[in-house]
Amino acid sequence: MRRQLRTVFSTVTGSVAAVLLVLLVLLAIVGPIVWSGRAGAIDVAKAWQPPSGEHWFGTDELGRDMFARSLVATRLSLLSAVAASAIAIVLGVPTGLLAAMFGPRLTSAFQSVVNVAIAFPALLTAMFVGTVIGIGVPGAILGVGIALAPMFARLTQTLTASVVSLDYVAAARTMGVPLRRLVGRHVLANVAEPLIITATTSVGTSLLGISALSFLGLGARPPQYDWGGLLSTGLKAIYTSPMAAIGPGALIAVSGIVFSLLGEVVAGAFGDNQSSRRFGRVARAMARRRRRAPSASPSDFLLDVRDLRVGFPSENGELPAVRGVSLRVAAGERVGIVGESGSGKSVSVMAIAQLVEHPAVVTADRLSFLGTELSTMAPAARRRFLGTNLAMVFQNPMSSLNPAMRIGAQLAEVSRVHSGLSRPEARARAADRLAEVGIAEAGHRLRQYPHEFSGGMRQRAMIAMGLMETPRLIIADEPTTALDVTVQRQILDLLLAINRDAGAAILLISHDISVIANVCERVVVMYAGVVVEDLPVASLLRAAVHPYTRALIASVPDMATDRSTDLATIPGRPPSLDDLPAGCPFASRCAFATDRCAEMPRWPRWPTATWRPAGTHREVHCERWSCRARPDRPVWRADRRGRRGPGRGRRAGAGPGRRVRVGQVDDRPRGARPGPVHAGTITAGGQEVRRLSARDRARRVQMIFQDPFGSLNPRMSVGGIIREGLEALGELPARERAAEVTRLLELVSLSPDLAQRLPAASPAASASASRSPAPSPPAPACSSPTRSPPRSTCRCRPRCSTCCAASSPPNASRCCSSPTTSPSSATSATTSR
């Protein structure tokens, strides 16, 4: 909030609006005290005098000074406008919240009522309400407030509906967070910005409305007066004393403009994703300190990057996200980049694609693509050049697709802009690309919106968008993260086919070193912003010498992995960018490090990994329950009994409903909920889940969601999110919760310092998992919990009975004693591992 306020006052428009607002407030406070006597003095002999040195705005029919009366009327006019806006907010915001939070029937009825209310002009509604209540200031305030309430109600309902369907709201519900706290922390906190902007501009609208009512004689009545009443009085002598009308009218107009400008500035401040000017000055200073080396001779490589550095300015100087990365990709070559989260993989390729935003500073001795130095090109020419020859497939399809555009329009836009295809030709190509990436009924899917796709389908559509043209280089940032194994192979085969047929080079980023080994010819291993090893894939197993590379290889599970032991993981955590150690950055995590590692940038040549024993055993029991997507089509019927110890796994391709089934175990209501459980029972710990209170249900069942970023409230710190579960259940006294938060973070290999950070600056997957055991649930339900994190962090939690939805057979087999396959929405098969 402080940054937004600084942004408001840092612009010329914001400064002018703020100064004028302060003047209006001071005038409202001081005006009645200083000029009330003069404003009420009657001198009939001076009636309707024109403007003069004694009477700047002239006089009215009783000889009263119009300038003094205009200044005194400031208080009543502004207070009435603020009061009317407050009434609109009090009536509209709770109504919109209730309509969005409590089911589709109430939402439908609410929308019908609001549509009818908005169909009437606001001024007409205000006149009707004011007349019914009674002519005067209270009636005008209530009339304008009630007239503006539908605007706030509709805005709040729209914003709330988009929030309540998100995973972090569902996660708060599964933790038993009370409704009052759920609305305050998770809903209102994330829709407050547009509401604040609308409230700011609505004060000006209320001022105009109240002035209009007073002008018509339905507002302030003598002896009270406001600007609207004075304007009505001044119009009687508009030809003999024009300032009597122009003065109050000008104050109304200026005040309305002030609140409108303030609303625009507040909107710009909340929507400003760039850092403050101080960070901009730091960035410019960093750029001046760096000196680019002389450009090298033209390269024969398709992509030639030398000494790439990316720094993010902070209060303490530069945070080096990428430190001297050099990379070469030949035409038609397949190169993979692998490493843990935070190693600099995505930042490096984003810098290559010129997508790193200000105030980050990107420098390189050479950054050449197709023999052209990108840093010397004009921005417009560079955009056209990269848009035609480079394709970017992003990791997170949830935020990469425009929710307001149909899938077909988004895909066709690429070819229409770059290839000049007609609309039918572009749509035909889009349908072909969707079919190639494994989406059935492509022609029908083109007419759908992103929210109608599952997570895996969104990712495939994003990949199809990157393949709409025939690029020379395809940068794929985790292209198979959200896909099940039945489709991963198809996507990888498609990339290989494009590489083989069109000769496009591939730069593939992945947490999974096995994916890199299957697709790429060369692997680049990154850690802490540097390249630690670059070697051919053919010699990966026998020639990898770096202990970090060997540990990544050891972290890959397979069907033969012993289920009784924990997955191999790398101990410790990567170093923080603002506290990089001297020498080898991996030394603190290497079991074979010596004192020389802190002095020399040489790397030990032995692998390391850790194994941890399993923990306690609990149970969950489910029998004969089902849920449905629509009344005539049940999604799943099952007869399952959780035994003590190992968990139950659900393994399926994208779409068969495994996430719906796991989601129904915690009985969470959601905006996009598929449907209620209509038959059978769900029991946990011997009690039926649906009959339990929210707190008791949270003690027995918790949820680990597929998308860690979507399941964490972006407005709350990581520590606050974890602490919320403890507060909701009340199992620990307040003085012990901080220690428990620290323990849970360390349980998932996160530093306790991350408790103060927001999810955007934290390893979201581990933070999401750390929240689930906060209430120590007997049965955590997991919806593809290991899709986003790297293999080195995908280890089993202490053993309680687990219901886990996964698309990877090794993951389901590794964690569960009875993996269950879901080949379709109506059938299921259970196998014993």
Of 544, 559, 577, at which residue does a domain stop? Answer: 544
Contact 165, 452 (CB under 8 A): no
Q: What is the CA radius of gyration of the chain?
A: 32
What's the pLDDT score for residue 466?
A: 78
Q: For residue 582, is it within any domain?
A: yes
* Per-residue pLDDT at 366 exceeds 80: yes
For helices 227-234 and 189-215, angle between their N-to-C axes, nearest 10 degrees: 30
pLDDT per position as a tens digit, 1-18 = 565 556 556 677 878 888
Q: What is the mean pLDDT of residues 559-568?
A: 73
Q: What is the mean pLDDT of residues 499-503?
A: 84
Say how far apart CA 540 and CA 605 lie, in whole Å: 14
Q: Please, which pLDDT band fits residue 264 given cuts at 50, 70 and 90?
A: confident
More confident residue, 414 or 83: 83
What's the pLDDT score for residue 320?
A: 87
Say how far apart CA 461 and CA 401 lie, in whole Å: 9
Burial of 701 (0-12, 13-18, 19+ CB in 10 A): buried
What's the pLDDT score for residue 635?
A: 36
Residues 594 and 696 in one domain: no
Stretch among 429-433, 444-448, 606-610, 807-811 having the lowest mean pLDDT: 606-610
Q: What is the mean pLDDT of residues 711-728?
A: 80
Q: Please, which pLDDT band fits residue 639 given cuts at 50, 70 and 90?
A: very low
pLDDT per position as a tens digit, 383-434 = 878 887 888 888 777 678 888 899 999 999 888 887 788 999 999 999 998 9
More confident residue, 111 or 829: 111
What is the pTM assigned to this prediction? Answer: 0.58
What's the pLDDT score for residue 437?
A: 77
Q: For residue 729, is it within any domain?
A: yes
* Domain enclosing residue 398, as ranges: 284-544
What's the pLDDT score for residue 349?
A: 92
pLDDT per position as a tens digit, 91-150 = 999 998 888 887 777 778 888 888 888 888 899 999 999 999 989 999 999 999 999 999
Residues 242 and 316 in one domain: no
Q: For residue 276, is it within any domain?
A: no
Q: For residue 607, is it within any domain?
A: yes
Q: For residue 528, is it within any domain?
A: yes
Of 241, 270, 299, at which residue does a domain stop? Answer: 270
Contact 244, 233 (CB under 8 A): yes
* Per-residue pLDDT at 475 exceeds 80: yes
% of the chain beyond a pLDDT of 90: 22
Scored b (16 or more CB within 10 A) or e, 391-410 reads bbbbbbbbebbeeeebbbbb
Q: What is the mean pLDDT of residues 488-501?
A: 81
Stretch among 145-149, 167-171, 306-310, 765-769 having the lowest mean pLDDT: 765-769
Tell me how many domains the chain contains: 4
* Per-residue pLDDT at 536 exceeds 60: yes
What's the pLDDT score for residue 812?
A: 54
Contact 110, 157 (CB under 8 A): yes
Residues 590 and 715 in one domain: no
Residues 596 and 683 in one domain: no
What's the pLDDT score for residue 606?
A: 31
Mean pLDDT of the chain: 76
Q: For residue 279, is it within any domain?
A: no
Secondary structure letter of residue 755 according to DSSP: G
Q: What is the mean pLDDT of residues 226-231?
A: 93
Q: Please, which pLDDT band fits residue 803 given cuts at 50, 70 and 90?
A: low
Of 544, 568, 586, at which residue does a domain stop? Answer: 544
The CATH number of the domain where 115 resides is what?
1.10.3720.10
pLDDT per position as a tens digit, 331-347 = 999 999 998 888 889 89
What's the pLDDT score for residue 448?
A: 93
Residues 124 and 222 in one domain: yes
Residues 677 and 760 in one domain: yes
The CATH number of the domain where 431 resides is what?
3.40.50.300
Report how far Cα 299 is from the mean position of its chain's Cα atoms: 40
What's the pLDDT score for residue 312?
A: 86
What's the pLDDT score for residue 408?
A: 92
More confident residue, 606 or 446: 446
Residues 321 and 203 in one domain: no
The tokens for 705 are: 């969601």
Residues 151 and 193 in one domain: yes
Give the contacts of 687 (CB within 8 A, at least 6 positions apart): 696, 700
Q: What is the mean pLDDT of residues 606-620?
A: 31
Task: Tabulate helix, strand, coil % of the chain (nearest 5).
Answer: 50, 15, 35
Stretch among 267-276, 316-325, 493-502, 745-754 having the lowest mean pLDDT: 267-276
What's the pLDDT score for residue 142?
A: 95
Tell me the C-alpha to C-alpha distance, in Å, between residue 306 and each of 299, 328, 329, 352, 365: 11, 8, 12, 11, 5
Q: For residue 531, is it within any domain?
A: yes
Residues 783 and 637 in one domain: yes
Tell me the C-alpha to C-alpha distance, in Å, between residue 283 and each of 2, 106, 311, 362, 602: 21, 51, 9, 10, 31
Residues 449 and 590 in one domain: no
What's the pLDDT score for residue 821?
A: 52
Residues 496 and 512 in one domain: yes
Residues 525 and 582 in one domain: no
